Structure 1
Amino acid sequence: MEQRSDLEQARALFTQAIGRQFEFWGFGRVFGRLWALLYLYDGKLTLDEMAAALKVSKATVSMQVRRLERFGMVRRHVRPGDRKDYYEAETDFGKMVKTILRQREKEEFDATFDLVNRSIALVQQAKGAEDRDFVLDRLQYIKRHFDLLDRIVEAILTLDRSGLAGLAAMLQTVRKAKTQDKAEGE
């Protein structure tokens, strides 16, 4: 029985960990494992090499790599005279988070926030309903937190490469919201 080196074990554990996190966030385990594999690989890999390394089908790898490309998490390279595509991971974590927030989460946040605002408007029109004030208070409470979340996402999206100024502004927004919640008695 062949014993894996510490480096191979570390790569396997990292790949497993990232796969779990990406699955938790709704991207899928293979999606995360592919990015992790490329992230810890010093060079570029083909679809065949990735499929062999993760013991999954080339079709699965191809589909997930296209998704990774759309989120700016991998880059495709071509070599003159070679028909295969080669891929490498994006290593700027901040850039990846911003792309994901911009392309996936922000759209979903905006749709959710719109529905909450429409709910509040309907409750405000529901004059005389027995539990109107209770429902309105609950919706407005959630709306304040959603507004905070929206400001945090906007702050993250405006971070520059160093990110320090944007991060400081984001933390200040969080502090203000906490102070406001305490003043209103949450």
Structure 2
Amino acid sequence: MTLSNNDQALHNIEEAEGEIINAIAETMDVYGVTPSIGRLYATMYFRDQMTLDEMRDELGLSKPSMSTGVRKLQDIDMVKKVYQRGSRKHVYQAEKDFFNTFIGFFCQMWEREINTNTVAIQRSKDLLQKVIDDEAVSSIIKKDATEKLHQIEGSMQYYEWLNNLVKSIRNEEIYNFIPKHPPQK
């Protein structure tokens, strides 16, 4: 028995979704999540909205696992809770714009890197400057402190550049240099 055109078309759609879901699940480690959480996101990507019960039924994982996965995806701005009037169940929706996903996740990670390291650099500079300014410290130790001070001051150029990159992405200036939709050739 052969499939009707509609049955074949539905099969092809399901197969296409499966390909994308598998690819997204496999690459979600880039965003710091497990393949099962990646599969959850990819499944939600093809649905309008889903409850935890629907996720559990679709993926066959426990409700606590779904809840943990959704929380992780919310933390990285890939899923948001959607208010549904009259419903007591929480409803969630996946971010479908990969540009927004990229901006949200990588800018958040880069800002964390910038903040953590610039605070450490400032603290280190203060400590090294104390060593350099202390007249009772030997010249060899002062030289070592001076070299380390210059080294960490040099690293600030990177964090300033990274901060500018984050700003250009957040305010979308980057699209002037790297358009979302490159010109057709």
Shift of 1:59: 0.7
Q: Which has the higher contact order (CA 8 A, sep 6+)?
A: 2
Residues 90 and 51 of structure 1, relative CA distance in 2, 3 Å threshold: same
Shift of 1:58: 0.9
Structure 1: runs of 5 or more not aligned = 169-186
> AA paired with 1:146?
Y
Secondary structure at the aligned position of 1:126 is classed as: helix
1:117-157 Cα distance to aligned partner (Å, 9 max, x none): 22123223322324223312321222221221122112222
Instruction: Report how many aligned residue pairs link the two structures.
Output: 160
Pairs within 5 Å for 1:115-154? 115-127=120-132, 128=139, 129=141, 130-154=143-167
Pairs within 5 Å for 1:1-186? 6-7=15-16, 9-23=18-32, 27-39=33-45, 41-77=46-82, 82-100=87-105, 105-127=110-132, 128=139, 129=141, 130-159=143-172, 164-165=175-176
* Contact persistence 1:22–1:32 (CA under 8 A): no
Shift of 1:61: 1.0
Shift of 1:96: 3.1
Residues 32 and 120 of structure 1, relative CA distance in 2, 3 Å threshold: farther
Distance 1:30 1:22 in 2: 13
Secondary structure at the aligned position of 1:87 is classed as: strand
TM-score in terms of structure 2 length? 0.66
> AA paired with 1:93?
F
Distance 1:155 1:167 in 2: 11
Shift of 1:109: 2.4
Structure 2: runs of 5 or more not aligned = 1-11, 133-138, 180-185
1:13-42 Cα distance to aligned partner (Å, 9 max, x none): 22322332223xxx4444433222211x14
TM-score in terms of structure 1 length? 0.65
Distance 2:106 2:29 in 1: 19
* Contact persistence 2:51–2:92 (CA under 8 A): yes
> AA paired with 1:144?
Q
Distance 1:8 1:157 in 2: 30
Bigger-Rg structure (1/2)? 2
Secondary structure at the aligned position of 2:50 is classed as: coil
1:77-124 Cα distance to aligned partner (Å, 9 max, x none): 455555433322112233334434565652452132111122123223
Distance 1:63 1:164 in 2: 34
Residues 110 and 133 of structure 1, relative CA distance in 2, 3 Å threshold: same
* Contact persistence 1:156–1:167 (CA under 8 A): no
